[in-house]
Amino acid sequence: MEVTQIFFNYVDQIWGPHDIDRFASYNNRKTVRYNSMFADFGSEAIDCFTQSWSNCNNWLVPPIYLVTKAVKHLLYCRGVGRLVVPKWPSASFWPFLFDKSGHKKGFILEILELSLVKTFSDMRVIPGSVSLILCDSKVGSW
């Protein structure tokens, strides 16, 4: 999933400034500092999971298969971050974020659910809803 600079700027006004984009490339990074999956000009690290995510405000838009690993790493590092995921209750990562009755887990401070309109094509995300979850591993339990 990819978000545009417009979407990022909106969220950055609410919960920013964000220090580092953990799942990016030179072409789609949202912050000056970023980590990439492969060797990339300007990337601080090739594998974000080898880095400490503490002491910075992390922007997290991981591939779907890495959502749970990203949250676990954020919690392990006792970091703070914004996680952008599709609203997908049947996804394998969903039970890690919400209990069976739909209540958020203790490490999730806030949820901003955005319904995206097809006419706002600049968002370039999965049609429907996106859940933006504010995670702070210093609060709650997991």
Instruction: Give 46-82 pLDDT, tens digit per residue.
Output: 999 999 999 999 999 999 999 999 999 999 998 889 9
Total number of domains in the chain: 1
Identify the H or E element spanning 7.
Answer: helix 5-15
Q: What are the backbone angles phi and psi of residue 18, rounded to the nearest 5°? A: -90, 135
Among 98, 99, 95, 82, which residue's Cα sits nearest to residue 134?
82
- Give the domain CATH number at 53: 3.40.50
pTM: 0.83
Is 35 inside any structural domain? yes
Is 109 inside any structural domain? yes
Among 136, 7, 23, which residue's Cα sits nearest to residue 70?
23
Is 141 inside any structural domain? no
Instruction: Give 32-44 pLDDT, tens digit per residue.
Output: 999 999 988 899 9
Structural domain containing residue 118: 5-136
Is 142 inside any structural domain? no
Average pLDDT, the chain: 82
